């Protein structure tokens, strides 16, 4: 079957080089070969997250660590910041973990703002909050720096941040921001196959986790720390993913992180321009557009062009490219184009050409 190139916002296209690394011969996960591999990556991971903390590898998708953060860090009540499908679900997940939880809800398409969080935390009810930096379902990037600044005012509240679709594509300085947990799955901005998550926890988060009961085993942050100190993971990891990550880190640093961030911003801007050129409006509030994907309004917001999204998808797929037709309650009234991972101006231009051809044929 001919491969259909992925321009959906996750999973994204994986390079041949990454696949080759993924299928490297096995080593034992308690042996020196594995320890050397992890130890070699650790400083690169720390540079990527701008942290002195050890960066952990979890063989799970992002949700494993998202749920783990709740189980490790919430004792009183968690504030789940909700602005799209993934962030909305975190409230449900918190409740399923048996935790007291409350949502801070904004309209889909809008970001979460610091003053809204401040008003909630001022009640003194909360000991943790969850935030999705880049809400992949709506293409909205919330202002992380402005929100993280609140940590100074609320030092005992655990700030848990999902950067699944933004980490590696934009600068997120873990230590400087003062956040407590930063996590990402690797099938989005990292451009790896699904099945691995990377994350870091602050000293305060680790100290708190050590006091929290019923945090389980598989996602116990204390276990991750203890094992990472010896360049290992608590249980047998997907070793193929670890090889793939080592290869990917080489790529990131060969390109240069700043160049990588600039590339993502530029490609997102190109997609925004394509949308405007074709009479579409964007779904996110102005100024909060993601740098890794573009969520285009197709009637979800007043104004702008409206087309048959299912038909557009099919016409684009006939040209060998998969795009996304909107997620959850905005399926069909939006569509999403991803530029995350290894995309370049040349590959994005191929996407725009396929879209232009499809629009002509609609």
Ligand X SMILES: *Cc1c(COP(=O)(O)O)cnc(C)c1O
Residues that bind ligand X (CB under 6 A): 10, 61-63, 86, 132, 136, 162, 164-165, 185, 188, 194
Least separation in angstroms between CB 10 and ligand X: 5
Least separation in angstroms between CB 194 and ligand X: 6
Closer residue to ligand X, CB minimum distance, 142 or 272: 142
Least separation in angstroms between CB 93 and ligand X: 10
Closer residue to ligand X, CB minimum distance, 6 or 164: 164
Closer residue to ligand X, CB minimum distance, 166 or 227: 166
Least separation in angstroms between CB 188 and ligand X: 6
Closer residue to ligand X, CB minimum distance, 61 or 116: 61
Distance CA 335, CA 271 (A): 12
Q: Provide the β-strand partners of residue 57.
A: 198
Least separation in angstroms between CB 214 and ligand X: 22
Least separation in angstroms between CB 302 and ligand X: 26
The answer on whether 215 is annotated among ligand-binding residues is no
β-pairing, 293-297 with 281-282? antiparallel
Distance CA 274, CA 349 (A): 10
Least separation in angstroms between CB 279 and ligand X: 28
Closer residue to ligand X, CB minimum distance, 42 or 61: 61
Closer residue to ligand X, CB minimum distance, 196 or 232: 196
Token pair recorded at residue 278: 């074709």
Asked if 9 contacts 188 with a C-beta cutoff of 8 angstroms, the reply is yes
Nearest C-alpha neighbor of 141 from the set 87, 185, 191, 103: 87
Q: Provide the β-strand partners of residue 141.
A: 134
Asked if 198 contacts 44 with a C-beta cutoff of 8 angstroms, the reply is no
- Give the total residue count for the chain: 362
Nearest C-alpha neighbor of 162 from the set 225, 87, 108: 87
Closer residue to ligand X, CB minimum distance, 85 or 296: 85
Closer residue to ligand X, CB minimum distance, 313 or 338: 338
Least separation in angstroms between CB 38 and ligand X: 21
- Can you say which residues are annotated as belonging to the binding site? 336
- Can you say which residues are annotated as belonging to the binding site for substrate? 336
């Amino acid at each position: 079957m001919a491969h259909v190139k992925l321009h959906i916002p996750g999973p994204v296209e994986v390079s041949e080089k990454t696949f080759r690394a993924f299928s490297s011969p096995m080593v034992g996960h308690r042996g020196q070969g594995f320890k050397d591999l992890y130890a070699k990556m650790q400083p690169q991971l720390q540079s990527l997250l701008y942290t002195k903390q050890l960066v952990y590898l979890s063989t799970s998708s992002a949700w494993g660590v998202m749920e783990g953060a709740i189980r490790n860090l919430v004792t009183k009540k968690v504030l789940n910041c909700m602005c799209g499908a993934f962030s909305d679900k975190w409230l449900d997940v918190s409740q399923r973990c048996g935790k007291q939880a409350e949502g801070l809800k904004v309209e889909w398409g809008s970001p979460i703002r610091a003053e809204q969080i401040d008003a909630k935390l001022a009640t003194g009810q909360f000991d943790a909050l969850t935030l999705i930096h880049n809400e992949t379902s709506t293409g909205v990037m919330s202002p992380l720096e402005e929100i993280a600044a609140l940590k100074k005012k609320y030092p005992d509240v655990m700030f848990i941040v999902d950067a699944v679709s933004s980490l590696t594509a934009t600068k997120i300085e873990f230590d400087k921001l003062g956040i407590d947990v930063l996590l990402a799955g690797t099938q989005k901005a990292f451009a790896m196959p699904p099945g691995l998550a990377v994350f870091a926890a602050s000293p305060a988060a680790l100290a708190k986790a050590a006091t929290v009961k019923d945090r389980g085993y598989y996602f116990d942050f204390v276990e991750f720390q203890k094992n990472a100190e010896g360049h290992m993971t608590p249980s047998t990891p997907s070793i193929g993913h670890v090889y793939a990550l080592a290869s990917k880190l080489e790529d990131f640093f060969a390109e240069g992180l700043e160049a990588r961030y600039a590339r993502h911003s530029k490609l997102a801007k190109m997609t925004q321009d394509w949308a405007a050129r074709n009479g579409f409006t964007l779904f996110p509030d102005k100024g909060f557009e993601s740098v890794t994907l573009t969520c285009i309004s197709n009637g979800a917001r007043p104004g702008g062009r409206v087309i048959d999204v299912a038909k557009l998808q099919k016409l684009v797929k006939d040209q060998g490219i998969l795009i996304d037709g909107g997620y959850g309650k905005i399926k069909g009234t939006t569509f999403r184009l991803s530029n995350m991972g290894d995309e370049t101006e040349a590959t994005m231009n191929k996407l725009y050409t396929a879209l232009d051809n499809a629009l002509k044929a609609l």
